Amino acid sequence: SCSLLRSPKGFPKLKNDTFLRAARGEQTEHTPVWCMRQAGRYLPEFRETRASQDFFATCRSPKLCCELTLQPLRRFPLDAAIIFSDILVVPQALGMEIVMVPGKGPTFTEPLKEVEDLLKLRQKVDVTAELGYVFQAITLTRHSLEGKVPLIGFSGAPWTLMSYMIEGGGSTTMAKAKSWLYRHPEASHRLLRLLADVIIDYLVGQVAAGAQALQLFESHAGHLGPELFQDFALPYIRDIAQAVKSKLKEEALPLVPMIIFAKDAHYALRDLAHAGYEVVGLDWTIRPQEARAQIGKDVTLQGNLDPCALYAPKEKIGELVKKMLESFGTQRYIANLGHGLYPDMNPEHVGAFVEAVHAHSRHINKH
């Protein structure tokens, strides 16, 4: 249960470290598995907990975030928990207002239109003041997990956040945000730098609060081609890994494994392999063998089952998982979907996915 907040120290001893071992490239008896958006609307208990609450109010309640993070672990033998939160809490920390519009999703009341609008953003963000509720949620959840599995913290990456801040919500083309990259390259870099600095402090704060791994979501990488990615996304992705690690060392905090997930960025896998992350997450649009060839042997891979495969009958899910494990290999690998779970998915099929990963990877490891 997610009750009283104890001191961040004295966390329960970790019982299942398979996910962390795989992330660091150590041998594992089975391939660990977790799902992006595993705390989500596909669970009836999630819909019940969230029913009466505004989405961002839920994000600001450590107790509710803890409860939502734990729900999938009560159902499935997942190897990791990921804190319930949202990538848009960072633009909120910069002073932007976002509302959740039913049927439309997150919507910025005043998106950035002109370069002058950058002046409206907080130029210096105290992450503890602005995002302390996430840190509290992490600490509370880390205690409430009772050492069952590790807890992952996360953030959106600068380009993905910038694109939301300019588009004002979702977009199929990201044309407004991309036009900034072409028309206002200097201002774009100013904004990306500001975001990166906040993200660095935010991720370090998550580790101080108890996160045992970190994932950076570059969800909108697919809207960039190789050149724009090289100029406007990759330098900040690299810088975040480097700066987070050096700050963790300075503050004598644990050096936790970091995962980069750049959706639809197969054109950049070689660069991402050398960006300073222990794990590279993959979407479903790349062949496992190709990804392994580009990324090499020194980085763990995570992914990449097509989320829609979970609509298949359970036997078929088992076959697809077996094929995926044979293609990636069971070591230096974390099983996951190539994107988040969708709201209309059957929880039993999620269970079938998780169990198939454990069963087939154990079988392959034995033989």
41 is catalytic: yes
If 0-12 CB within 10 Å is exposed, 13-18 middle and 19+ buried, where does residue 329 land? middle
Has 50 been annotated as catalytic?
yes
Residue 164 is a catalytic residue = yes
- CA 289, 295, 300 angle in degrees (round to 5)? 90
3-class DSSP state of 297? coil
Q: At 217, is the secondary structure helix, strand, or coil? A: strand
**Candidates 21, 37, 60, 332; catalytic one:** 37
Given the residues 24, 41, 190, 362, select the one marked as catalytic: 41
Q: Which residue type does 266 have? A: H
Residue 16 and residue 149 in contact, taking contact as beta carbons nearer than 8 Å: yes
Of 112, 206, 193, the residue nearest 155 (C-alpha): 206
Beta-bridged to residue 81, according to DSSP, are: 151
DSSP state at residue 229: I
In the block, which residue shows the tokens 């036997």? 315
Among 164, 236, 277, 333, the active-site one is 164
Closest CA relative to residue 100, chosen from 140, 60, 68, 42: 60
Q: Name the catalytic one among 24, 75, 86, 190.
A: 86
By three-state DSSP, how is residue 16 classified?
A: coil
Single out the residue of 297, 260, 298 nearest to residue 282, CA to CA: 260
Q: Which of 50, 60, 142, 292 is catalytic?
A: 50
Q: Round to the nearest angstrom and report the end-to-end CA distance of the chain.
A: 40
3-state secondary structure labels for all residues of 301-315: EEEEECHHHHHCCHH
| Annotation says 86 is catalytic | yes
Helix (H) or strand (E) holding 99: strand 98-101
37 is catalytic: yes
**Displacement of CA 103 from its chain's centroid (Å):** 23
Q: What is d(CA 307, CA 304) in angstroms, rounded to the nearest whole number?
A: 8
Q: Which residues pair with 260 in a beta bridge?
A: 216, 280
Catalytic site residues? Answer: 37, 41, 50, 86, 164
